[in-house]
């Protein structure tokens, strides 16, 4: 803060008061009022400097107001008799420029769009802008604020956003609560798994990841690319759904494509008696072998802890994956094939000198060895 010299202090009541004030406030870069700032905000800045001068030099309000009026754009008409900051505030709000200012901010609010971080957006800046526009447009009613915030949300995955927004916002009573609930929705939405997301599947019981090594194949069974559970960098999978957008537990099926090899997780069969009878390849432990191939296999997705859950698939959900066989135990095609669950267990197998933990499919009631954490690794771009 600039402090007047002794000579300037003694001159504070002189006829050159306005010149002196003008000199100091130009140095302090005091903002002028041209109708592009909320009057309350401008008055608060002006008052801050007034209190400084008054406390030190007994500056009268009218003297200071006379100077302050010179900072107001000449196109803004002020009524006579303004002898207080409150009257000045009201006069600025009565001018047509304030109506234009409010309506401009309301239109900006109507066109405001939220972009999530994965699309280059910034939630903190968005909320700051939203609150500032509400303030400038004098939109103080919480229900009206809710409508503007809701309108700003992207229409991608509209059902999810709509339901979550309604459920979380219905009891909100202040803009601070509104901000908190909005942040909770955005945080939860960022953990939703979408078609084409990159995920990892962590075996709950062992802590190892569902993995495969490009072109490393079983030495028994199908001789296709092996699948194992290891703490391994080859554990990234692209999840594919029969629907675009968010994946739900109500979706018919998913496919899992190994990122490194571009092959699909599944089970495979071979012909026993052409062209009618087929058998599935067996794993080293004589269960249904799980391998990678070029053909998409449809996996059914269920939440392990919530029975009949139909909600959205989220990162860190514990899931069961199952697959329906296309052939019965006699090798004949069937529409009511046996359901088998993806399992990792303590049995190991070898390929050359390397030892791996086996992953199989098995027709048993799912237990802890059939549970997998699904972890979102990389999100897809939402157009």
Closest CA to 150 of 136, 166, 135, 137: 166
Which pLDDT score, from 0 to 100, does residue 310 have? 83
Contact 313, 324 (CB under 8 A): no
Q: Are residues 293 and 365 in the same domain?
A: yes
Q: Under DSSP, is residue 169 helix (H, G, I), strand (E, B) or coil? A: helix
User: Residue 302 sits in a domain of what CATH number?
Assistant: 2.80.10.50
What is the band of 122 on the pLDDT scale with cuts at 50, 70, 90?
A: very high
Q: Are residues 275 and 374 in the same domain?
A: yes
Q: Using the 3D structure, point to which of 94, 110, 128 is the last residue of a domain.
A: 94
Q: Are residues 222 and 84 in the same domain?
A: no
Q: Using the 3D structure, point to which of 172, 190, 208 is the last residue of a domain.
A: 190
Q: Are residues 236 and 216 in the same domain?
A: yes
Q: Are residues 220 and 295 in the same domain?
A: yes
Asked if the structure places residue 371 within a domain, the reply is yes
Domain that holds residue 162: 98-190
Asked if the structure places residue 308 within a domain, the reply is yes
Angle at 341 between CA 337 and CA 345, to 5 degrees: 140
What is the band of 53 on the pLDDT scale with cuts at 50, 70, 90?
A: low
Q: Are residues 274 and 353 in the same domain?
A: yes
Q: Using the 3D structure, point to which of 79, 94, 109 is the last residue of a domain.
A: 94
Q: Is the pLDDT of residue 298 over 70?
A: yes
Asked if the structure places residue 6 within a domain, the reply is no
Closest CA to 109 of 82, 90, 137, 83: 137
d(CA 237, CA 381) in angstroms, rounded, equals: 17
Identify which of 94-108, 245-259, 305-319 has the greatest average pLDDT: 94-108
Q: Are residues 366 and 266 in the same domain?
A: yes
DSSP H helices, the chain, are: 6-10, 17-27, 39-57, 61-69, 85-94, 96-110, 123-136, 142-152, 158-169, 175-189
As a dihedral over the C-alpha atoms of residue 318, residue 323, residue 324, residue 325, rounded to 10 degrees, the angle is -150
Q: Are residues 160 and 47 in the same domain?
A: no
Count of domains forming the chain: 3
Asked if the structure places residue 226 within a domain, the reply is yes
d(CA 138, CA 373) in angstroms, rounded, equals: 47
Q: Are residues 179 and 216 in the same domain?
A: no
Asked if the structure places residue 11 within a domain, the reply is no
Asked if the structure places residue 76 within a domain, the reply is yes
What is the band of 185 on the pLDDT scale with cuts at 50, 70, 90?
A: confident
Closest CA to 53 of 7, 82, 13, 85: 13
Q: Is the pLDDT of residue 14 over 90?
A: no
- Digit-coded pLDDT (tens) for 261-295: 999 999 999 998 877 899 999 999 999 999 999 99
Q: Are residues 42 and 123 in the same domain?
A: no
Q: Are residues 348 and 252 in the same domain?
A: yes
Global pTM value = 0.75
Q: Are residues 239 and 147 in the same domain?
A: no
Contact 211, 229 (CB under 8 A): yes
């Amino acid at each position: 803060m600039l402090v007047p010299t002794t000579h300037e202090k003694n001159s504070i009541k002189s006829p050159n008061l306005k010149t002196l004030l003008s000199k100091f406030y130009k140095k302090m870069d005091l903002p002028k009022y041209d109708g592009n700032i909320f009057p309350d905000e401008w008055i608060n800045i002006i008052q801050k400097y007034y209190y400084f001068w008054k406390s030190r030099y007994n500056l009268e309000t009218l003297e200071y107001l006379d100077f302050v009026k010179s900072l107001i754009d000449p196109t803004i008409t002020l009524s006579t008799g303004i002898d207080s900051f409150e009257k000045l505030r009201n006069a600025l709000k009565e001018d047509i420029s304030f109506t234009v200012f409010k309506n401009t901010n309301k239109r900006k609010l109507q066109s405001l769009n939220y972009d999530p971080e994965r699309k280059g957006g910034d939630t903190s800046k968005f909320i700051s802008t939203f609150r500032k526009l509400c303030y400038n447009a004098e939109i103080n009613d919480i229900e009206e604020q809710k409508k503007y915030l809701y309108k700003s949300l992207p229409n991608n995955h509209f059902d999810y956003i709509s339901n979550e927004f309604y459920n979380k916002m219905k009891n909100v009573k202040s803009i601070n609560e509104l901000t908190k609930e909005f942040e909770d929705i955005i945080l939860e939405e960022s953990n939703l798994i979408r078609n084409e997301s990159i995920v990892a599947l962590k075996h709950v019981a062992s802590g190892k990841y569902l993995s495969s090594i490009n072109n490393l194949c079983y030495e028994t069974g199908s001789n296709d690319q092996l699948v194992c559970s290891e703490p391994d960098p080859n554990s990234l999978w692209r999840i594919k759904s029969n629907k675009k957008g968010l994946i739900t537990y109500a979706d018919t099926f998913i496919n899992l494509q190994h990122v490194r090899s571009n092959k699909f997780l599944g089970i495979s069969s071979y012909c026993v008696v052409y062209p009618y009878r087929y058998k599935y390849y067996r794993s080293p432990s004589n269960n249904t072998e799980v391998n990678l191939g070029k053909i998409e296999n449809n996996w059914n997705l269920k939440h392990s802890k919530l029975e009949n859950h139909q909600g959205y698939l989220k990162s860190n959900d514990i899931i069961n994956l199952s697959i329906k066989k296309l052939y019965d135990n006699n090798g004949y095609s069937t529409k009511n094939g046996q359901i088998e669950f993806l399992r990792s267990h303590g049995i190991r197998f070898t390929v050359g000198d390397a030892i791996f933990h086996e992953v199989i499919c098995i027709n048993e009631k799912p237990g802890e060895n059939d549970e997998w954490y699904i972890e979102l690794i990389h999100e897809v771009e939402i157009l």
